[in-house]
Amino acid sequence: MKYLVANWKAQMTLPLITAWVKDFKRRIEKNEQIKIIICPPFPFTIYVKEQLKDTPGVAIGSQSLSVMAQGRYTGEVTAEALCDIVTYSIIGHSERRSYIKETEAMIKTQIDRARENSIKQILCVRNAQDQRYPKVDMVAYEPVEAIGTGINARVTDILYMKKKLSLPSDTLFLYGGSVDDTNISEYLGTNEIDGFLVGTASLSAEKFCAMARKISE
Ligand code: PGA
């Protein structure tokens, strides 16, 4: 099983998502070997879930979640609110670490909140210095220099980092950073990479479905 995660970041609007969903449904081919996880911006989460509820192999994720538990916290989106809508949550993405100043303590709390509410965690790490937490469901290695730059990391470097991370054997290992339909095949020759976290290329349903197709070939 390979995981293909779409991280739309703050790049989508309702009209763009409506068009994306239509295009995706037309293009995506059924494949039991791939799990697709779509992570829309919060306001569109339930819409995307509804639209794709009959598309097999698709799950919904969030791009983050609040460190706060349900309560009087204006503007926060809690794990309690998300858990009936999403199956997964990205946690600790490098953009949140740098722009929102999320700390390791906040990331740990988010992991706990997700776990308490049965949301599977996709923890992003930038390097071997970032904390790993026991028992997260997935770790996505995302070197900052590869994110959104078009300079995707080499398989050997990714596998070297995986070794350094020394993850528990039941933790799934993803790679993210400029993966697209033209380079995904580079990563498919090894069983060591369980999937991909895709930003830019996931904004096009055509490219995203082409990636899914390459995985199934
Ligand atoms: P990218 O983003 O595919 O645009 O490099 C990946 C990510 O930040 O998750």
- Please write the tens of the pLDDT for every residue from 82-124: 999 999 999 999 999 999 999 999 999 999 999 999 999 999 9
182-201 per-position pLDDT tens digit: 999 999 999 999 999 999 99
In this prediction, residues 37-57 reach a mean pLDDT of 97
pLDDT, position 132: 85
The answer to whether the CB of 198 is under 6 A from ligand 1 is yes
For residue 147 and ligand 1, the question of a CB distance below 6 A is answered with yes
C-alpha distances in angstroms, 90 versus 13, 66, 79, 188, 217? 20, 12, 12, 23, 27
**Per the structure, how many domains does the chain have?**
1
- Separation of 127 CA from ligand 1 center, angstroms? 15
Averaged pLDDT, 41-59: 97
pLDDT of residue 217: 87
Contact between 138 and 194 under an 8 Å Cβ cutoff? The reply is yes
User: Is 200's C-beta closer than 6 angstroms to any atom of ligand 1?
Assistant: yes
Ligand 1 nearest-atom number relative to CA 202: 3
Alpha-carbon distance 203 to 80, whole Å? 28
Query: Which domain range does residue 123 map to?
Result: 2-216
| pLDDT > 70 fraction of the chain, expressed in percent and rounded | 100
Active-site residue, 142 included: yes
